[in-house]
Amino acid sequence: MPRRYYITTFGCQMNKADSERMAGVLEAMGLEPVPEPDEADVLLYNTCTIRDNAEQKLYSYLGRQAKRKHQDPNLTLIVAGCVAQQEGERLLRRVPEVDLVMGPQYANRLGELLEQVWNGSQVVATEPLHIVEDITKPRRDSTVTAWVNVIYGCNERCTYCVVPGVRGQEQSRRPEAIRAEIEELAAQGYKEVTLLGQNIDAYGRDLPGITPEGRRQHTFTDLLYYIHDVPGIERIRFATSHPRYFTERLIRACAELPKVCKHFHIPFQSGDNEILKAMARGYTRERYLQIIETIRRYMPDAAISADAIVGFPGETETQFQRTLDLVAEVGFDQLNTAAYSPRPNTPAATWDNQVPEEIKEDRLQRLNHLVATIASDRSQRYLGREEVVLVEGVNPKDAQQVYGRTDGNRLTYLPGDIETLRGQLVRVRITDARAFSLSGVPLVDHALAGA
Per the annotation, where are the binding residues for [4Fe-4S] cluster? 12, 48, 82, 154, 158, 161
For residue 59, how many other CB atoms are within 10 A of its CB? 15
* 358: amino acid identity, one letter: E
Return all residues near 323 (Cβ < 8 A) that are at least 6 apart.
270, 271, 272, 308, 310, 367
Pairwise CA distance, residues 307 & 157, whole Å? 17
CA distances in angstroms from 253 to 222, 247, 295, 308, listed in the order given: 9, 10, 11, 26
Residue 425 β-bridge partners:
390
Which residues in 257-296 are b (16+ Cβ under 10 Å) and which e?
bebbbbbbbbbbbbbbbebbebbebebebebbbebbebbe
Known binding residues:
12, 48, 82, 154, 158, 161
CB-based contacts of 294, cutoff 8 Å, min separation 6: 248, 251
How far is Cα 340 from Cα 362, in angstroms, rounded to an integer?
Answer: 12
CA dihedral 295→298→303→307, nearest 10 degrees, is -10
